Structure 1
């Protein structure tokens, strides 16, 4: 066994352990490197260079703009103005007539040109049967977050719903099967974030976006794909959430950065990355170094619970069950006919009949009896998140011989998706019990052995 074989084995075991412990599908956070890998897409600088070559109003060499405007956002601002001048002059025929109507911002022509580049990349792509792409698809992620403009992910995951730009702020984040396009999408030029005004608007809303993403990051395995360790997009997101996810500089155990190696790896690469997110402020996440991504995708796709389930159907079910709770805790697996579910998910009231459950107004108030998600349980105990709370649960298991998470009881209840566990919820009784364990007090688990 080579050093790298040992590395892949160790990392694969770590990924599977993380997924088993969190008992849910991973989140993918995707950057431009993925588009470059499969579509030969441009970097941000390469994109701006290409756009400079297409507009006669940009009459200086691209190096001039790099020298004068070190921040690429400011080059985007200058080019937006140049494209506007071109569109209202000799370049008018290069743009659709509707872009000249009222209601369009002056940067719409520049953004339209960007969208055309990424649409062209998709039209030229011919490697949809690539083994890596198929393995990527088999991950069946809970959701995907991306800063990319292109629609590559929509093709790889056709049953996932794209949510673009500011619409993310109003999305229901308890759902599943969505692609959050935080910097806009080539399907809607006006949504593209590319110039100074766009980024200022994005940064003003960044805190709200990060707050909505926090539950994802705290309760799911997360893998960054297509970013470098110094990518500002990673730093921007992690800088807002590190105080919740990382305590005293400890390694965040559920966040991975997939780093591309230009050549085949032969040694035993690093397993962790220290990422500086601000002055005198860094966080530690797990690193995966690979030239061939196949084995990494296979590791994250090891949990096949969602393999035969349509994410569109799951979203419909979750929407219908938002105010529904179980009137009784099932002890046996539920056999699910997905054809029936597909029909009843579009009919008000029918889903409750199918599951034998009632609205909260007429039955057991599930949210009152089991108010804590894993992350909120940890926070209620004074921790930064779920991981330290789970350590106390493991202590409880070792001392009592009972794994409270393995069945439904007065301390824990599993939210089911058919025979599969969708998530875990915990009661105030458990919180009080874990407080005693945390404080070193005597405690007793009130369950039959």
Structure 2
């Protein structure tokens, strides 16, 4: 009997059932195993080997550093990287090295730490694999094209990774990348459609966690990160891919999670560890659970799926999406808008939820948002006004409001009508209509009125920055528009 295929079918059914019961999109926790599979990127040890090989000043083999830094018989690769920092610092400052342009000229700034050179080398090594991956993926000539195509259809709620490379950005082009400590400064409730790169990115060499010093700094703030991610570990199906259970990165995060949970000996039904095995004996049934030893007398029991191909897993995850495929950029903007609405102090509910007609119905909206038990009335508590409603209170034509919006955009570089934010929402986003259906909030009404009456005020930018308008002077808009401009403004509304 083919016990393995029976096991795989049962495991996929159980995963699918878990996702559908929780009624929210899965979170993917992606490790270096996927980068090695799809990018042929080097392993952690392989990366250090190339770092050693490409520095002519290093005359000892990698094994020397591994043996010299071993603790209680265990390899300590971050400590190896720390020992190589000085060698790369010396190499970078050789006249010939700088002459040959081996490192970017900007990294010779005195403002940077001396580990920037080994980090730049690590980045350049990873980028070689990335360029080849881009070529194969773009030409649809990749050996694992079927798997990658199925993976790109998954639409997870968010992706967490300790990888530096940009492979996930290629597979999920509509996802926004959030790097390192930026994650801590943002609400987890708005992390829909995002790739959370907790160990940095090759696009910012200074951000990557490479040496022991980097890990020590990371550990100082890791518990804040883990506390935020606890929401994910409890409220979403979590699928862990490309990690070994011995991987210190995953064990470290899970260890923090274990400290926050009451009973870690009970199976965590929403956490699924995917374990790769190239050779599987199909006459035997692999285990369905895994006890992960986290050290310090702590452990976690999670679901286990053993695979020798990712196709069936990705297909199952793609089928699990509770609604049809959506534009993740739109979903991300809407998520942030709803979060702002929910925490808003306003109690006016003049706009019905049905006006959010980019979505078919309320259930559809809640499913794509992956937010449970959201009060639908809260969604309408900000966007209460047409621009005409605001300008009529000033005794002015609609065009006066348009001119003020243009003034704000000109002075700040940010047009509040360009996206969904605390001031504005376009109800026609996501619909096949060329026209806008704009609604404005109490915050927008206050902002525009302050500018109109020349009162001190501020405008909030998307990055959280507040720009003051204490001395803003707006020209009288009563005769500031030609008839042609007024007609154009009216058409826009």
| TM bracket, shorter-chain basis | 0.7 to 0.9
In 2, Cα distance between the equivalents of 1:123 and 1:344?
A: 33
In 1, Cα distance between the equivalents of 2:203 and 2:52?
A: 22
1:209 aligns with 2:225: yes
Larger Rg: 2
Aligned residue for 2:319, secondary structure, equals coil
Q: Which residue of 1 aligns with 2:204?
A: 188
Question: How much has 1:228 moved relative to structure 2?
Answer: 0.6
In 2, Cα distance between the equivalents of 1:188 and 1:198?
A: 14
Q: Which residue of 2 aligns with 1:49?
A: 49
Q: How does 1:49-448 map to 2 (within 5 A)?
A: 49-70=49-70, 71-89=76-94, 90-92=96-98, 93=100, 94-125=102-133, 126-128=135-137, 129=140, 130-175=145-190, 176-245=192-261, 247=263, 249-266=265-282, 267-305=284-322, 307-324=324-341, 327=349, 335-336=357-358, 345=420, 348-350=423-425
Question: How much has 1:214 moved relative to structure 2?
Answer: 0.7
Deviation readout 1:16-59 (Å, 9 max, x if unpaired): 11101111001111111000010111111111011100001211
Aligned residue pairs, count: 359
Q: Which residue of 2 aligns with 1:390?
A: none
In 2, Cα distance between the equivalents of 1:153 and 1:229?
A: 22
In 2, Cα distance between the equivalents of 1:54 and 1:306?
A: 49
Aligned residue for 2:159, secondary structure, equals strand
CA 1:256–1:96 in 2, change beyond 3 Å: closer, same or farther? same
CA 1:37–1:265 in 2, change beyond 3 Å: closer, same or farther? farther
Aligned residue for 1:239, secondary structure, equals helix
1:32 aligns with 2:32: yes
Aligned residue for 1:174, secondary structure, equals helix
In 2, Cα distance between the equivalents of 1:7 and 1:328?
A: 53
Question: How much has 1:133 moved relative to structure 2?
Answer: 0.8
In 2, Cα distance between the equivalents of 1:334 and 1:166?
A: 33
CA contact (8 A) 2:163 2:199 kept: yes
CA contact (8 A) 2:425 2:440 kept: no
Aligned residue for 1:169, secondary structure, equals coil
Q: Which residue of 2 aligns with 1:423?
A: none
CA 1:15–1:328 in 2, change beyond 3 Å: closer, same or farther? farther
Structure 2 portions without partners, runs of 5+: 71-75, 343-347, 361-382, 384-416, 429-436, 444-493
In 1, Cα distance between the equivalents of 2:352 and 2:235?
A: 24
Deviation readout 1:371-401 (Å, 9 max, x if unpaired): xxxxxxxxxxxxxxxxxxxxxxxxxxxxxxx
Aligned residue for 1:322, secondary structure, equals helix
Question: How much has 1:193 moved relative to structure 2?
Answer: 0.6
Between 326-335 and 194-203, report the one with greater CA deviation: 326-335
CA contact (8 A) 1:327 1:357 kept: no
In 2, Cα distance between the equivalents of 1:355 and 1:294?
A: 43
Between 218-227 and 84-93, report the one with greater CA deviation: 84-93
- Supply the RMSD in Å over aligned alpha carbons: 2.8
Aligned residue for 1:284, secondary structure, equals strand
CA contact (8 A) 1:260 1:290 kept: yes
Aligned residue for 2:189, secondary structure, equals coil
In 1, Cα distance between the equivalents of 2:262 and 2:313?
A: 24
Aligned residue for 1:256, secondary structure, equals strand
Normalization by structure 2: what TM-score?
0.68
Question: How much has 1:321 moved relative to structure 2?
Answer: 2.8
